[in-house]
Every structure is written in C-alpha cells, then in structure tokens.
C-alpha cells in the first residue's frame, strides 16, 4: 500500500505517529534490584517494591538512566538536565501499586530525529518528540484456566523507554522503515535487544487520514499490541481502509484505542480514548527530580559506537559501495564488522560481494547465524586475496568456498591439496588452445568464414581441458591470436 489511498470522493493521505516501548537491557528493574531475565518461572523475579507492598520505596537504577541518555544521543535528541517521575494512576490487577511510575511533563529526552531508508532508495527524516523512562506492568494470563486469570509480576517494574515519534510517517512502508532503523540503533547501542517476539520492543500505532492537500490532521485511532514489523504493516493497511470507508460515507472517526488481532487480521475497539486527566498524573513523592549534569552526558557521548547511518555513509565513501550494499552490510553490527575484517588489505568491493552474495546466502539458507559461520572473516579475506592475485579464478573460488564452509579449512590449503591453482603459464595454455583447434577443424573453418559466435565454444573447450584452471583472460587472448 502506498502513502495515499484513492477513495471515491478524494485521495486520502495516511498520517502516522508511533509510540515504541523498548525494554532497557538491564539486569535489574528500574526501581528495584529484582532480576529481569526473560522466560523465568512466574513470580520468581519480584521484589516487595514491584509487588506494591505498603511502605516500600523505589530507588532509581542509575544504569537505566545511562541507557536512556545513550539512546537519546543515538537518536540525535536533546537530553534534559532535569526530568521528573510522575504517578500515572489506574487500576489493573497486574499493577499492584495502583499507579505506574513514568515521566509525563518532563521527560529525560526531548526532541530529535532519525533518518529512515525507503525501499526506493530515498532517505527521509522522521522527527522524535520525546523519550521517557517508565516502569512496565505485570502480565495477566487468561488462557491457562477456564474460569481464573493468573498474574505474573516478573515484568512489573522492568525499565522501559517510551520513544514517541512526530506524526511524520506516511504509509506502512515508512512505518516499517522507521521501526527497523530504530531497532537497529537500539541494537548498535545495546540499550535494548529489540526482540519484538519476546516483547522487549513493542509499538503502538497512531493513524489518521486526511484529504491530500489538507494541512490539518484528522482524528486518529491508536492501535495497541502490534508486535512485529509484519503486524505493523498489516494493522496499518487494515485500519486505513476502515477509516477510509467511514470518511467516504460522510462519517467521523471516534478517537479510540483499538487492538490488533493478528489471527482475525483486524483492529477492534478496546476503549474510547482516555484523557490525561483520567490518570490524575502527579509528581511521585517518593522520588526526587532527576538532575543530570552536562559532564555526565558528555562522558556518555564519548562511549557511543559508530551508528548505522554514519557507518553506511563511511562504507559508501571509503569503500565505494552502493547505497544498497552498504545498507545490507550495516543492518547488523556483527555483519559490518565481519565485512570490514574480510576487506582488510583486499579489494573491498570484491569482499563485499563475497559477504553479501556467497556467505550470507549460504548462512541464511542453512539458518546459521553469522557468529557461527564456519568461515571466519580473515579466511574469507584470504580467499578474496587468491582471486585478486590470480591464483584462482572467481569460478574455482566458489568451489573452494563451498569446501571451506564444509571443512573450515583455509582457502590456501584447499587450493594446494586439490591442485586448483590457476594456470597462467602462456606455454601451457597455448598447448591446450592448439589441441582444441586441431580437434575441431570444422568449427574453425566456420568461425573463419564469419560465424563469430563460435568463439565462446572454443573458450569453453579450452577451460574444460584445463579443468577450469586456465586464466580466462589469457585463454581469450591466445584464442583471438590463433584464430
Ligand atoms: P497521547 O499522549 O494521547 O498518546 P500524543 O499527542 O502524545 O498523544 O501522541 C501520541 C502519538 O500520536 C505520537 O506519536 C503522535 O505523533 C501521534 N499523533 C498525534 N496526532 C496524530 C494524528 N492526528 N494522526 C496520527 N498520529 C498522530
Ligand atoms: Mg499514547
């Protein structure tokens, strides 16, 4: 689906803003020392603070503050020297305190922006409104017993960063590109593992439609519970068409919170949109305002790794890679590192081709993560080196590579053991050329009388006689001379 949809009366444009909840990679919770490991026995990671026992006091986990600042810097945002924790009051069985501690009027991170890469090669900037720190709620489990619900508080109190985008996103492709880039940045920074299937990164999608050319935004709906890139795309496509139908029929959109049902593939109403006053936000009396100094921010800035977009531009400038190749290589930090190690001292473009087309191809096909690759970056670099200095042809290199993947042996060893060295000795190739020409007098005659397309046949015959080892450029040259 494009950014616009054609209705009967008008062309409509989608306006989308995303609220992403990213769980901070921290071993302890935001306000307690309880552990956060995924998949633990229910209610085995709960402190008195998380369980909302009377008189318990929250203590801010400084490590989480550091991760939020790091993330803020990674999304080019302003860091606020003063931020305030508030209580967002509501009743829910998996929220034993009766309120969630979050940041409301004064978040730790203010405005910023990230670049997204669109499938057609375009780059677009999406504004970030804010990033704030908050605690997660527990989990209600409704499907383990026919008449009872269970509560697991392991997740209660885990540290979340809520990252809110400006309504700059148009259409499902841009939404997916935004989430992919954001996840990539979080993973580069190691502030969140970005695993959407484990719930450590989740998105709420806000969507409205307006007629193309209109400057005012329409009324939006917020879709909760959209937990994969595919679901984000599908939910947007469904919801846009639902709103289109209402608007085209002269109706109005009710501002409400809707739920994405991945099985029925539809959104449905959950509740009409609550207003801030329903939550009676007020500053949490248990926690002082959070003050951070510029020197603290500066020290964190110095620890930032090279970020995906910087890396992408460097790969294009320094190695002459295309935007597409650079984008695929930087998609994961480990992949980019692998490439750079393989390219060290070699033809970088050739190394990039080998990583992208051969290595990742085989690994993906066999479901092997790059970390477990039987061929190390250094070994792949050596193989590239053998092609560069004409020890082997690109074609033989593919066989050698297949062998390396299977045995883990070095390229040089395999070439040696199997006698695959390219023949670059003029005399030896000339002898093969002579043999082929002598064995095919009819073809030679036809070629000489003008059937030039036979040239490829002669090349093929000579290559075959050399078992693929003759240097192809030399074969071409000698054949031309003799014919
Ligand atoms: P709330 O606090 O009620 O959730 P916000 O104003 O913080 O509302 O906005 C939440 C998200 O909704 C943001 O990502 C924002 O970009 C997006 N948004 C706001 N207005 C619209 C709109 N008319 N259409 C689509 N998205 C919108
Ligand atoms: Mg919201």
State pLDDT tens for residues 43-60. Answer: 999 999 999 999 999 999
Interval between CA 223 and ligand 2 midpoint (Å): 10
Query: Which ligand has the shortest distance to the CA of 164?
Result: 1
Residue with tokens 């192809």: 472
Distances (CA, A) of 196 to 140, 201, 212, 248, 275: 19, 5, 33, 35, 28
Q: How far is CA 218 from the centre of its chain?
A: 31
Query: What φ, ψ does residue 34 adopt, rounded to 5°?
Result: -65, 145
Nearest atom of ligand 1 to the alpha carbon of 206? 26
Rounded to a whole number of angstroms, the distance between the first and last alpha carbons of the chain is 58
Interval between CA 19 and ligand 2 midpoint (Å): 7
Interval between CA 284 and ligand 1 midpoint (Å): 25
Query: Which ligand has the shortest distance to the CA of 17?
Result: 1
Interval between CA 272 and ligand 2 midpoint (Å): 13
Residue 416's pLDDT is what?
A: 86
pLDDT tens sequence across 357-395: 999 999 999 999 999 999 999 999 999 999 998 888 888
Nearest atom of ligand 1 to the alpha carbon of 19? 14
What mean pLDDT comes out for the span 451-473? 87
What mean pLDDT, rounded, does the chain reach?
94
- Tell me: pLDDT of 476 over 90: no
- Ligand 1 mutation pick, 13, 107, 111, 206, max ligand atoms within 8 A of CB: 206
* Cα distance between residue 48 and residue 341, in whole Å: 49
Interval between CA 21 and ligand 1 midpoint (Å): 15
Interval between CA 68 and ligand 1 midpoint (Å): 21
- pTM score, whole prediction: 0.87
Lining residues, ligand 1, CB within 6 Å: 15-19, 164-167, 206-208, 217-218, 220
- Ligand 1 mutation pick, 19, 86, 219, max ligand atoms within 8 A of CB: 19
- Ligand 1 mutation pick, 3, 13, 17, max ligand atoms within 8 A of CB: 17
* Cα distance between residue 333 and residue 330, in whole Å: 6
Residue 276's pLDDT is what?
A: 66
* Cα distance between residue 81 and residue 399, in whole Å: 59
Query: Which ligand has the shortest distance to the CA of 274?
Result: 1
Q: Atom 22, ligand 1: which residue's CA is nearest?
A: 220
- Tell me: pLDDT of 87 over 80: yes
Query: Which ligand has the shortest distance to the CA of 221?
Result: 1
Interval between CA 17 and ligand 1 midpoint (Å): 6
- Tell me: pLDDT of 274 over 80: no
Nearest atom of ligand 1 to the alpha carbon of 167? 16
Q: Are 52 and 89 in contact (CB under 8 A)?
A: no
Q: How far is CA 225 from the centre of its chain?
A: 20
The number of C-alpha atoms within 13 Å of 438 and in the hemisphere containing its C-beta is: 6
Q: Which H helix or E strand runs over 132? A: strand 123-135
* Sign of the torsion formed by the C-alpha atoms of 170, 172, 176 and 182: positive
């Amino acid at each position: 689906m494009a950014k616009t949809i054609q209705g009967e009366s008008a062309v409509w444009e989608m306006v989308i803003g995303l609220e992403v909840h990213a769980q901070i990679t921290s071993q302890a919770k935001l306000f307690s020392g309880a552990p956060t490991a995924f998949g633990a026995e229910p209610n085995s990671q709960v402190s008195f603070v998380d369980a909302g026992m009377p008189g318990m006091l929250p203590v801010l986990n400084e490590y989480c503050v550091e991760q939020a600042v790091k993330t803020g810097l990674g999304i080019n945002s302003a860091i606020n020297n003063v931020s305030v924790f508030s209580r967002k009051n509501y009743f829910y069985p998996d929220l034993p305190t009766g309120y969630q501690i979050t940041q409301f009027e004064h978040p730790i991170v203010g405005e910023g922006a990230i670049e997204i890469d669109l499938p057609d090669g375009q780059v677009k900037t999406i504004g970030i409104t804010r990033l704030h720190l908050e605690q997660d709620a527990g989990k209600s489990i409704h499907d383990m017993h026919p008449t009872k619900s269970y509560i697991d508080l392991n997740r209660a109190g885990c540290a979340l960063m809520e990252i809110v985008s400006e309504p700059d996103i148009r259409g499902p492709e841009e939404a997916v590109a935004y989430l992919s880039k954001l996840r990539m940045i979080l993973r580069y920074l190691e502030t969140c593992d970005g695993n959407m299937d484990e719930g450590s990164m989740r998105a709420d999608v806000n969507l409205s439609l307006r007629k193309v050319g209109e400057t005012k935004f329409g009324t939006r709906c917020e879709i909760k519970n959209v937990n994969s890139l595919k679901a984000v795309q599908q939910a947007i496509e469904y919801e846009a068409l639902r709103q289109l139908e209402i608007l085209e029929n002269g109706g109005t959109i009710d501002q409400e919170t809707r739920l994405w049902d991945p099985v029925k593939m539809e959104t449905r109403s959950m509740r009409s949109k609550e207003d801030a006053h329903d939550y009676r936000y007020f500053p949490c009396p248990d926690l002082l305002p959070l003050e951070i100094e510029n020197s603290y921010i500066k020290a964190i800035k110095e620890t930032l790794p090279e970020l995906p977009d910087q890396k992408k531009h460097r790969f294009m400038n320094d190695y002459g890679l295309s935007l597409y190749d650079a984008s695929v290589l930087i998609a994961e930090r480990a992949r980019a590192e692998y490439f750079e190690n393989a390219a060290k001292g070699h033809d970088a473009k050739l190394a990039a081709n080998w990583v992208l087309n051969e290595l990742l191809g085989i690994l993906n096909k066999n479901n092997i993560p790059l970390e477990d690759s039987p061929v190390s970056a250094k070994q792949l670099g050596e193989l590239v080196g053998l092609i560069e200095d004409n020890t082997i042809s690109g074609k033989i290199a593919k066989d050698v590579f297949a062998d390396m993947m299977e045995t883990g042996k070095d390229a040089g060893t395999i070439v040696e053991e199997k006698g695959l060295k390219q023949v670059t000795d003029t005399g030896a190739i000339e002898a093969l050329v002579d043999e082929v020409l002598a064995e095919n007098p009819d073809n030679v005659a036809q070629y000489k009388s003008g059937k030039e397309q036979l040239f490829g046949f002669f090349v093929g015959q000579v290559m075959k006689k050399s078992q693929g080892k003759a240097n192809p450029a030399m074969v071409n040259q000698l054949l031309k001379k003799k014919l």
